[in-house]
Amino acid sequence: MPAINDRSGRALIVLVADRHLHEAEDDGTGALVTELLVEAGFVVDGSVTVPSDEPVIRNALNTAVIGGVDLVITVGGTGVSPRDVVPDVTAEILDRELLGVSQALRWSGMTAGVMEAVISRGLVGVSGSTLVANIPGSRQAIRDALATLTPLAAYLIGELSDLEEL
């Protein structure tokens, strides 16, 4: 079993904005996610803000996977409105979905009273050797999701690294 170490892996953040791109950049969401990932031992390669547009989201996810990051976190676009397409696009690029991790994120949110987490359609899975996770965009949902996800992600990245070495 791989150990969780000081360097959990390289991460990229994809912020999905339904309204105005500058709002997602200005509200501090990217900085919050970066801070929480760094605290968990990840090296954050950066963040990109994209509109809630399927081809643009698909391109951002594929670019991250091809770029070889260990973890891609999408923020926003996981709800029930017609513009919340992140899980649909994510499903297209995943090789394997990790239902237990997605369920753990919703369960954690439910026990913390984070409604956005409970209704989230977010997915977690593997594309190539990259872990991809969709989380809701509210600050409370981000904090709760990353508290649950980061130890699991570090473990899974270790598992994926061990498989690459075989």
How far apart CA 125 and CA 50 sit, in angstroms, is 21
6 pLDDT above the threshold of 50:
no
pLDDT tens-digit series, residues 63-99? 999 999 999 999 999 999 999 999 999 999 999 999 9
Fold entry, domain 12-165: Molybdenum Cofactor Biosythetic Enzyme; Chain A (3.40.980)
For residue 161, pLDDT over 90 is answered with no
Q: Does the pLDDT of residue 2 top 90, yes or no?
A: no
Give me the chain's average pLDDT, please.
Answer: 91
CA dist list (Å): 53 to 56, 81, 151:
5, 13, 30
Residue found under tokens 């809630």: 52
Q: How many helices (H) and strands (E) does the chain have?
A: 7, 6
The sign of the dihedral angle between the CA atoms of 97, 100, 105, 107 is positive
The pLDDT of residue 25 is above 60: no
Q: pTM (2 decimals)?
A: 0.91
Annotated domain spans of the chain: 12-165
